[in-house]
Structure 1
């Protein structure tokens, strides 16, 4: 099953996406002036680290702090979207590894257990180069996927904090916001989107050949394979020229997007960008 790949990662079948700047943040059909500070709120994401209880949690905490994963994600989001109040973004030990937004406590939690789980996903993808190069590639991808899931959880927070209307499944809507935030940034953040695409591709591959079961079909999230194709579609749609290698076309057998879906992706991206721009218009900061 093909994956999205950076040029540094030699994957026999892949999506060799070229990195470049994408569109302006959440740009709709036309630029819109930011709302006055008084109507936008002055809250921000406030990063904190809870004590690590095990050796694995201590290793994850050190990794997050050394790479400034939470701090950089918070600064990136805070420069673009205003919050009505400060929102804690904490790293902590959790019963399950997945990061989450808790409406009751009003905070986003990044679970220490997510780091080793993400490492497992990318260990099977980053197989080229020396051991040191492979380890560095895995670290980079863990940071990238972490940004993808943090902006996904930020989307949940924004829906609740601003009581934003959502038609369709909220999980899909906040996936779209995460793609928009990453695809509208610099090369590093576009790279983070590719890491997230790779992760969904790997999880889909791991589940191939079997019935995912009632729990997966009834879950609020789309299936891993659907999220893989959605993320790949939206990233391609953000700049079809730059991400042309994503399409399964004649002369490009490593492309992953079927041509029929790819033809719809630019309009799909414009629609979700315009929709989120409309929803967040009063809360966007001037750039």
Structure 2
């Protein structure tokens, strides 16, 4: 991947940031019909219930302190709860895990954010956030870890909704819940759009790190799309949510930092409308009043 194929908030967004294969294992301007503007009354009364398990290592204790200081789980839960009703309370816990990948556990009925994800995400973004003083770079990494964490949590929430409400999914569920994560972030404020950019940058960094290598059978057969595909899909859907606002995402004359090929970019507004319409239809009985 060329070094320019990375989302730079100063170019892609007309705003300032608000503030490894770790993601391969994750199980996972407002649109008129986005979850935040639904008119149907929500049926469920459940919410995401945040909890923190005791960490097992000094690194996990530091990760717990980071999550609490930045209210990562609490803010993500509040943001989702304001938009989508659940049939029952769903635990959203942070815990020490064997692997660092957040996941939805259908049997246990809970979403787990693994403490190890913080350090793994920090390593990814240390390759991306290279501008400014050491303090500025550290702050940028922290902001991106928060942003990526939100994207991953909404991805796992998508898995939970599919199971809890027995939602039909055509195609790969991993792609579908990626779409929900982008939809939730794109239909929020500038801070949440920045969170989507953090996730896009993570896919790009991992794609760049693996460029030229054959992913092999494991990569091609995995239930997730490959890092490069997720990079372009997330960038396309965010651009499609508001092409005027995110015009700098498109590769074109006079815009060397654009990452989306023009042929794909031309399809992105329709792609986003289909994502919006599809998830709105699936979740209509469970969406809350704005």
Task: Provide TM-score, normalisation by structure 1.
Answer: 0.93
Deviation by residue 1:41-80 (Cα, 9 ceiling, x = unmatched): 1000000000011110000000001110000000000000
| Structure-2 separation of matches of 1:123 and 1:170 | 30
| Structure-2 separation of matches of 1:32 and 1:116 | 37
Q: 1:286 to 1:197 in 2, by over 3 A?
A: same
Q: Tell whether 2:30 aligns with 1:23.
A: yes
Q: Partner of 2:134 in structure 1?
A: 131
Q: Partner of 1:246 in structure 2?
A: 249
| Structure-1 separation of matches of 2:33 and 2:72 | 22
Give the conservation status (yes or no) of the 8 Å contact 2:250–2:259.
Answer: yes
Q: Partner of 1:154 in structure 2?
A: 157
Q: 1:183 to 1:19 in 2, by over 3 A?
A: farther
Q: Partner of 1:113 in structure 2?
A: 116
In the TM superposition, residue 130 of structure 1 has moved relative to its aligned partner by: 1.1
Which of the residues 40, 43, 59 maps onto 1:34? 40
SS at structure 2 position matched to 1:104:
coil
Deviation by residue 1:70-101 (Cα, 9 ceiling, x = unmatched): 00000000000000000000000001101000
Which of the residues 203, 208, 211 maps onto 1:205? 208
Q: Partner of 2:81 in structure 1?
A: 78
Q: Which residues of 2 match residues 159-170 of structure 1 at below 5 A?
A: 159-170=162-173
In the TM superposition, residue 33 of structure 1 has moved relative to its aligned partner by: 1.5
Q: Partner of 1:286 in structure 2?
A: 289
| Structure-2 separation of matches of 1:50 and 1:144 | 22
SS at structure 2 position matched to 1:286:
coil
What RMSD in Å do the two structures reach over aligned CA positions?
1.4
| Structure-1 separation of matches of 2:288 and 2:200 | 28
| Structure-1 separation of matches of 2:13 and 2:74 | 27
In the TM superposition, residue 105 of structure 1 has moved relative to its aligned partner by: 0.1
Give the conservation status (yes or no) of the 8 Å contact 2:249–2:258.
Answer: yes
Q: Tell whether 2:279 aligns with 1:276.
A: yes
Give the conservation status (yes or no) of the 8 Å contact 1:141–1:192.
Answer: yes
Q: Partner of 2:192 in structure 1?
A: 189
In the TM superposition, residue 124 of structure 1 has moved relative to its aligned partner by: 1.0
Give the conservation status (yes or no) of the 8 Å contact 1:26–1:184.
Answer: no
Structure 2: unaligned runs, 5 residues or longer = 17-28
Q: Partner of 2:268 in structure 1?
A: 265
In the TM superposition, residue 156 of structure 1 has moved relative to its aligned partner by: 0.1
| Structure-2 separation of matches of 1:197 and 1:24 | 20
Give the conservation status (yes or no) of the 8 Å contact 2:38–2:289.
Answer: no
| Structure-1 separation of matches of 2:157 and 2:88 | 13
| Structure-1 separation of matches of 2:219 and 2:256 | 30
SS at structure 1 position matched to 2:7:
strand
Give the number of aligned pairs: 274
Q: Which residues of 2 match residues 27-66 of structure 1 at below 5 A?
A: 27=34, 32-35=38-41, 37=42, 40-66=43-69
In the TM superposition, residue 150 of structure 1 has moved relative to its aligned partner by: 0.1
SS at structure 1 position matched to 2:49:
strand
Which of the residues 102, 105, 120 maps onto 1:102? 105
Q: Tell whether 2:219 aligns with 1:227.
A: no
Structure 1 stretches (4+) deviating beyond 2 angstroms?
A: 15-20, 24-28
